[in-house]
Amino acid sequence: MALMFEALRLVVGLLFMFTGALKLTDQVSADLYVEGLEEFVKFAEVFPLRKLGVDVDPLVFMTVVGWCELIGGLLLAVGPRIVQKISNVVLSVIMIGELYCILAIKVPLHMCVPSACFLAVLILLLYVWGRDKEKKEN
């Protein structure tokens, strides 16, 4: 069972690295990069901190999220356990923010499924790590 969760952690980390790379360069896929930038223009309009007067440039927003996903995915995949947990929390916050933005721009609900699945897997990993820690303490 532990091997399955380690494989899941590795796969999710690699997927985050891939999605981060898609946001950083058009060399992976020009069409997906342009589509992502169009989405981030919409996300910047509903950015939660905008109510506090923080305006974000969509390209900068996409670049920051891309780097966070790329580095967070790398650390989730191959980092030591404490770094995996920290990157898991950072990636979870990004997924929560993405879900908020998707719901705020009022697109069909099925568009939330990939982000919700990623978030669910990240929460599952945190739960498993916490459960394993409790077992070691007893």
What does the pLDDT look like over 80-93, one tens digit per residue? 989 999 999 999 99
Instruction: Give the pLDDT confidence score for residue 47 in this predicted structure.
Output: 86
Averaged pLDDT of the chain: 89
Domain that holds residue 99: 2-137
Burial class (CB in 10 A: 0-12, 13-18, 19+), 135: exposed
Looking at per-residue confidence, does 123 or 137 come out higher? 123
Higher pLDDT, 119 or 133: 119
Count of the separate structural domains present in the chain = 1
Q: Is the pLDDT of residue 48 over 90?
A: no
> How confident is the model at residue 54, as a pLDDT?
83
pLDDT score of 131 more than 80:
no
